[in-house]
Amino acid sequence: MNPSTLPLLNKTLRIGHTPDPDDAFMFYGFASGQVQIDDYEVQHVLEDIQTLNQKALHGEIEVTAVSAAVYPSLQHSYWILPVGASVGRNYGPVVVKKAGTTPATKRIGIPGRYTTAFLLLRLYTEDYQPISYRFDEIPAALNSGDIDYGLLIHEAQITYESMGLEKVMNLGERWMEETRLPIPLGLDVVRKDLGKEMAVKIGLALKQSIQIGLAQREEAVSYAIKFGRGLSQPLGDQFIGMYVNNDTLNIGEEGERALNLLYDKAYRAGIIPAPTRVDILRDVL
């Protein structure tokens, strides 16, 4: 028996997402018990994005958030859901350094080699010496002098100044300046071996969960900022608004063009080994 079919036999669906406010907000409908998928038990798998990427590469989770950058390696086993994407419009991962310093070397803490942040760094810079950290450990490593620069994702994109750090480059701004397109940073994907009917049910349930969060915003934000590592309610609301919006409800034609362009650039730069077919499960819309 194929191990990947076992969770469906025992009526459990594993759904992976990161322990940060925007993902938590998207899944508020599930967490609050307002959304269900038939009589399946939803098991939340909360891990940092690099760990979720690695689990997806091994097919360990039926439904999961992943970095857009890892999808080329998943294209044959997962569909992209048209809902649940984290899209930056002239903002995104930020390269920072200690305020007022001029580092002599270019050791940079990155949140994982499969992340879209690292892919963008490779597309727009050179000579950095990457060192992998869990995403929330990078500011401390930077302040302690273990690294010279940090590549920040999640809420640190808007809180870095309070940690004594200053911006060197916003990679989302660089992407927009060059392409005039938004940058899809994260995607939600569903395993193809579940079958299209089940995958569509899952996508519709995720869409409903996001819509509930948007409709019950105050309650959903209060729930989501518990995952914000001390983030205040106003900053939590601001950050959630950056990554849970109309693009999240439908990645759209513009988002699909951006994904295709991202993968084409990565292929031409020799970062990914082969062209990528963007396979979005539009039946959900």
Q: Answer yes or no: 58 catalytic.
A: no
For the stretch 110-156, pLDDT in tens is 999 999 999 999 999 989 999 999 999 999 999 999 999 999 998 88
Point out the catalytic residue in the list 17, 58, 76, 154: 154
40 and 62 Cβ atoms separated by less than 8 Å: no
Q: Which fold has domain 3-87+184-284?
A: D-Maltodextrin-Binding Protein; domain 2 (3.40.190)
pLDDT tens-digit profile of 218-235?
Answer: 999 999 999 888 778 888
| Phi, psi at 95, each rounded to 5° | -90, 125
C-alpha 83/C-alpha 250 separation (Å) is 5
78-119 pLDDT, tens per residue? 999 999 999 999 999 999 999 999 999 999 999 999 999 999
Can you identify the CATH homologous superfamily of domain 94-179? Answer: Periplasmic binding protein-like II (3.40.190.10)
Q: Note whether 3-87+184-284 and 94-179 share their fold.
A: yes
Length of the chain: 285
Asked if 14 contacts 183 with a C-beta cutoff of 8 angstroms, the reply is no
For 56, counting Cβ atoms within 10 Å of its Cβ (0-12 exposed, 13-18 middle, 19+ buried), the class is buried
Per domain, the residue ranges of the chain are 3-87+184-284, 94-179
**Residue 173: in which H helix or E strand, if any?**
helix 171-179
